[in-house]
Chain A
Amino acid sequence: MKEKPDVLQGTLALMVLKTLDVLEPQHGWGIARRIEQISGDLLAVNQGTLYPLLLRLEHEGSIASEWGVSENKRRARFYRLTAAGRKQLQAETRDWEQTAAIIARFFNVKAEDLS
């Protein structure tokens, strides 16, 4: 299997944070489904990899979790963004937008622009 852990981990974490920012609190499957809907194939397989990541974000203090009752009356663990997580999301969003803008400008460069 081809692994691209760095990019995947980084972007996946950002996606998780953003998902929780929009729809909180949310349980694991909810987050996975949401990401799948938006990103297409990124989480179509190996949805399980989400759980170690969630644990890591929790250790880092960006998110918190607690047991709750889901929409179909089952016990599920709900994740929500903490204040620190929100701040982190804002910072990373800014970084990401900056990077994306720079990269976009490079992609738009034509030979005559550089002459």
Chain B
Amino acid sequence: MRFLRRFRIRFSNFVTRRSADQRLQEEIAEHLAFQAEENVRAGMAPAEARRQAALKLGPVEAIRERHHAEQSIPFFENLLFDLRYAIRMVLKSPGFSVIAIGTMALGIGATTAIYSVIDATLLHPLPYPNPAELVRVQDDLPGVGAHGVGISIPEWRDLQASGIFQSVALTGTGANVNLTGSEQPLRLSFKQVTPNYFAVLGVSAQLGRTFDPNDPTPGYNLEVVISDGLWRKEFGADPQMIGRVLRLDNDAYRVVGIMPRGFRDQGSTSDEQNVDLWLGAGFTGLPFRPPQRDLRLASRAVIARLKPGLSIAAAQGHLDALVDTLKKQYPADYPAQTAWTVRLIPLTETVVGSIRSSLILLFGAVGLVLLISCVNVANLLLARASGRGREIAVRQALGAQRTRLIRQFLAESLLLFVLGGIAGVAILFSAQHFLLRLIPESLPHLNNISINWGVLVFAVAVSVVTGTVFGLAPAWLMSRFDLIGTLRQEGRGSSGSRERARARQTLVISELALSLVLLIAAGLLLRSFWDLFKVQPGFNPNRVMAIQTWLPGPNDPSADIYRSATQEAVLLREILRRSRTLPGVEEAAVGDEAALPLGHGQPGRLPLIREGIETKDNEAPVINSPIVSPEYFHLLSVPLLRGRLFNDQDLEETPQVAVINQAAALTYWPNQDPLGKRVRLRLDGRDRRASSTPPWTTIIGVIADARTESLADAAIPQIYRSIYQRPAKDLAIFLRGQLDPSAISSQMRTQIQSIDPELPVFHGETLDEVLSESLSVRRFSMEMVAFFAATALLLAGLGIYGTISYVVNEQRREIAIRLALGAQKAMILRMVLRRGAGLAAAGTGLGIAGALIVSHLMSGLLYGVSPTDLPTFAGFTVVLTAVALAASYIPALRAMRFDPITTLHSE
């Protein structure tokens, strides 16, 4: 209480600047008068009496200072003084201040920009309550090299009953559905989910309700929950929406709820997150196949919410025990050689997925730029210190304490850094719309990127921390001026200045090293990107367009007018015939979405059962299995190596045939001829015909490998089947020729809908676009790192220029004497350049060491270039050395042109 009262009074004195000094002066005068009188009474002479009184009182200045400290709050007061002084210093040398603030604005602005992306993606990826409890359950068969094989219904029930989870939900990975009944048939993305799905995520509807978690319906419960976006866009935010009936793939579903505006579904792609509809299903009755323990559904994801307080590691322990029990209980369903395991993955991780490493790389790169900017500003501060040596020495001579000086310099550098931070964030803020356009659309949570409070706090923290760290060293060195020497000869040759010179050289060397690390990282990324860009994809994407459509699949298979391959063939042949009549079209083919090169999300993978090798699904490796029409291979110019391709005689009633690629031949039939071999592809959950033994399929041809999965992967096994033998719902129509991309989509729509007006037509894209989109994240990170590296190079160049200029300036007297004594100008030039070369050599040496570490850390992001790629390392070392030498050349020239007479006179 007393303390608070005291603080309050002092604070108010501090604010109102009320001083008690006058009062103290009077009191002291009074005190001295009393004491002197008493001394006189004791027999002293008046002069001596006054002297003794003053001695007894003690040092008046110190008392005044303490009195003042008691009256006000010196800490704040000094802070204010320092700040005012710092502002005056910043205004006094505007050129210096603009450069320092600009450099920091660049560093802090860029770091904050990348942080805002990371904040939205890595740090806040899940907009659900208690996200730490959410996990994805993944089943792997490491024994046969299969991952994410999906889960069977009995296994799901085991998980539900295990006591590890509050609830476990099954969900599709996102698929298409046709909404018909309005003007245009609409292709919407939907997910089938178990009714407890929203309970697991912990989100409820903004209007209506979500599914009843205990809904026992085995198949679709014919209820649909729709997204806020769909509700607004298609139904004009109709308040009477609940209870309306939507016709989806020819089935009638009742709308029961509308999700809130900001709700985004989980999933690693923006396609998965932007789901329009959720259908509730039990996954056990029609159109799903009857549950069987060994019938895993690869296209199902399992999302679960852990019991509160259970850590993932502990839950994994319980789960491993459960898996062991199940293996013993059902040995036939879990053959030992497949080594079935079930993993819990934090949902956060699966959402961010593959971009994590790219983002960490970017953050690392921008961190280096920030570091270089800081080093540069620290260097500038030191350079200015030498000009202020006299001022500092005078202040020290007048009794300024060293800590006080350090604090004051610190206030100055903090002011510069914070102003830099403010400028950086202000630029970022005004340019954010432009910057957001640079970010590839495939980045998850793109829409959540914003400059929010968290990001601002980050920017402030970065400014303050860097300002303190990089302000302390110069402040400390600046306060160490040799007082006498400096005052006598203004800083020249004093020990403090030598120390500062060494500090500046260290800073320049680290700057050079850091920028070399960045340059080499950027160079490696650039080469990877270039190699990928120039890679022969194994198919010809030029002049090819793909347009998608979706055939409805009603829940009652007998209501499906495209149920059999023969039925669907009629439609497909008509679509192909009509497409070929469109202007510019030379060739046309169809395939399913998995056949769309680089353009599909997750490939449809099926267990591959080779005759005589595997007997059951759960022992078999999984393989990508696109479905195509016979013209597909020729249209994409994929050459046949052996055997034959599909022809028009391969029909539903003729023996099933398949074409594989070279990689599949080498992987599954090493040293054998795959032609004539028979396989079975276990039908996955997408198939609505409950045939328990799929037919044997004979391999008739081997095609060359094409990079249809990813440009970075040369050979992924593929098995192709003919669409006239195996119907598919998710169709892509491929067209080659002189196409007008803007017109062709609507022409195709007219043609397709004149055959069946209920079919939606969407996603018309050229394969070149698809190709370049597949590289977008790589291109983005490459461009950003290259930009950062260029910035670093510029800053490092400025840094070495500043340091060499400073050295030349310090040595102007020595140089002048040398010149006066007849030294050759060329020798002076060499002397200065040698200085620069020395710094460059030390910097590049350290830089190469650092780059070796960094390049190995980022080797996962490289393609076709080794992390120790000699040309990249050598090239950028030469570039950096050249920049360093060029930057030293200018001050060297100046040194060479010193006029000895003027220089020596001016000293």
Residues in chain A within 8 A of chain B (CB atoms): 27-30, 32-33, 44-49, 51-52, 55-56, 59-62, 70, 72, 74-77, 88
Return chain A residues, CB-CB under 8 Å to B34.
Answer: 27, 29-30, 33, 70
Q: Which of A27, A62, A72, A76 contacts B37 (CB 8 A)?
A: A72
The CA-CA distance from A76 to B10 in the complex, in Å, is 23
Report yes or no: B57 in contact with A47, Cβ–Cβ below 8 A.
yes
Report yes or no: B6 in contact with A56, Cβ–Cβ below 8 A.
yes
Given the known inter-chain contacts A29-B35, A44-B56, A47-B57, please indicate yes or no for A52 contacting B5, CB distance below 8 A: no
Across the two chains, which residue of chain A brings its CB closest to B62? A48
Report yes or no: A29 in contact with B31, Cβ–Cβ below 8 A.
yes
The CA-CA distance from A33 to B71 in the complex, in Å, is 24
Besides A28-B27, A48-B28, A49-B58, 20 other A-B contacts (C-beta < 8 A): A27-B27, A27-B30, A27-B34, A30-B34, A44-B56, A47-B35, A48-B58, A48-B59, A48-B60, A48-B62, A49-B66, A51-B28, A52-B69, A55-B67, A56-B70, A59-B6, A60-B3, A70-B30, A74-B30, A88-B2
20 pairs of residues in contact across A and B, judged by CB atoms under 8 Å: A27-B30, A27-B34, A33-B34, A44-B56, A45-B56, A47-B58, A48-B57, A48-B58, A49-B58, A51-B28, A52-B67, A55-B67, A55-B70, A56-B70, A59-B70, A60-B2, A61-B2, A72-B37, A75-B30, A76-B30
B1-30: which residues lie under 8 A (CB-CB) from chain A?
A: 2-3, 5-6, 9-10, 20, 23-24, 26-28, 30
Return chain A residues, CB-CB under 8 Å to B24.
Answer: 51
The CA-CA distance from A77 to B58 in the complex, in Å, is 20
Chain A's interface: helix, strand, loop or mixed, by majority? helix
The CA-CA distance from A59 to B27 in the complex, in Å, is 17
Report yes or no: B37 in contact with A61, Cβ–Cβ below 8 A.
no
With an 8 A cutoff between CB atoms, is B323 at the interface?
no
With an 8 A cutoff between CB atoms, is B484 at the interface?
no
Residues in chain B within 8 A of chain A (CB atoms): 2-3, 5-6, 9-10, 20, 23-24, 26-28, 30-31, 33-35, 37-38, 55-60, 62-63, 66-67, 69-71
The CA-CA distance from A76 to B63 in the complex, in Å, is 18
The winner among A55, A74, A75 for most chain B CB atoms within 10 A is A55
Return chain A residues, CB-CB under 8 Å to B60.
Answer: 48
Chain B's interface: helix, strand, loop or mixed, by majority? helix
Q: Which of A46, A59, A70 contacts B58 (CB 8 A)?
A: A46
Across the two chains, which residue of chain A brings its CB closest to B71? A55
Given the known inter-chain contacts A46-B58, A48-B59, A74-B33, please indicate yes or no for A59 contacting B66, CB distance below 8 A: no
The CA-CA distance from A47 to B157 in the complex, in Å, is 87
Report yes or no: B37 in contact with A28, Cβ–Cβ below 8 A.
no
Across the two chains, which residue of chain B brings its CB closest to A65? B23
Return chain A residues, CB-CB under 8 Å to B38.
Answer: 33
The CA-CA distance from A56 to B10 in the complex, in Å, is 10
Q: Which of A52, A61, A77 contacts B70 (CB 8 A)?
A: A52
Q: Which of B5, B31, B33, B69 contacts A47 (CB 8 A)?
A: B31
Return chain A residues, CB-CB under 8 Å to B35.
Answer: 29, 47
The CA-CA distance from A49 to B64 in the complex, in Å, is 9
The CA-CA distance from A27 to B29 in the complex, in Å, is 12
Report yes or no: A77 in contact with B26, Cβ–Cβ below 8 A.
yes
Q: Which of B26, B58, B67, B71 contacts A45 (CB 8 A)?
A: B58
Return chain B residues, CB-CB under 8 Å to A61.
Answer: 2, 5
Return chain A residues, CB-CB under 8 Å to B5.
Answer: 59-61
The CA-CA distance from A29 to B26 in the complex, in Å, is 12
CB of B37 to closest CB in A, whole Å: 7
Across the two chains, which residue of chain B brings its CB closest to A53? B70
Return chain B residues, CB-CB under 8 Å to A76.
Answer: 27, 30
The CA-CA distance from A28 to B9 in the complex, in Å, is 21
Return chain A residues, CB-CB under 8 Å to B71.
Answer: 55
Return chain B residues, CB-CB under 8 Å to A72.
Answer: 37
Return chain A residues, CB-CB under 8 Å to B6.
Answer: 56, 59-60
The CA-CA distance from A88 to B3 in the complex, in Å, is 13
CB of B3 to closest CB in A, whole Å: 8
9 residue pairs, one from A and one from B, having the closest CB atoms: A46-B58, A48-B63, A29-B34, A52-B66, A59-B6, A48-B58, A60-B2, A29-B31, A48-B57
The CA-CA distance from A27 to B6 in the complex, in Å, is 22
The CA-CA distance from A17 to B24 in the complex, in Å, is 20
Return chain B residues, CB-CB under 8 Å to A88.
Answer: 2
The winner among B30, B33, B62 for most chain A CB atoms within 10 A is B30
Across the two chains, which residue of chain A brings its CB closest to B63? A48
Across the two chains, which residue of chain B brings its CB closest to A71? B34
Q: Which of B2, B37, B59, B67 contacts A51 (CB 8 A)?
A: B67
CB of A115 to closest CB in B, whole Å: 45
The CA-CA distance from A43 to B62 in the complex, in Å, is 16
The CA-CA distance from A56 to B72 in the complex, in Å, is 11
Across the two chains, which residue of chain B brings its CB closest to A84? B2
Report yes or no: B66 in contact with A77, Cβ–Cβ below 8 A.
no
CB of A39 to closest CB in B, whole Å: 15
CB of A64 to closest CB in B, whole Å: 13
CB of A34 to closest CB in B, whole Å: 12
Return chain A residues, CB-CB under 8 Å to B67.
Answer: 51-52, 55
Return chain A residues, CB-CB under 8 Å to B31.
Answer: 28-29, 32, 47-48
Return chain A residues, CB-CB under 8 Å to B27.
Answer: 27-28, 51, 76-77
The CA-CA distance from A112 to B421 in the complex, in Å, is 72
Return chain B residues, CB-CB under 8 Å to A55.
Answer: 20, 67, 70-71
Q: Which of A33, A51, A56 contacts B63 (CB 8 A)?
A: A51
Return chain A residues, CB-CB under 8 Å to B9.
Answer: 59
The CA-CA distance from A88 to B6 in the complex, in Å, is 15
Report yes or no: A29 in contact with B30, Cβ–Cβ below 8 A.
yes
The CA-CA distance from A44 to B57 in the complex, in Å, is 9
The CA-CA distance from A46 to B55 in the complex, in Å, is 8
Return chain B residues, CB-CB under 8 Å to A29.
Answer: 30-31, 34-35
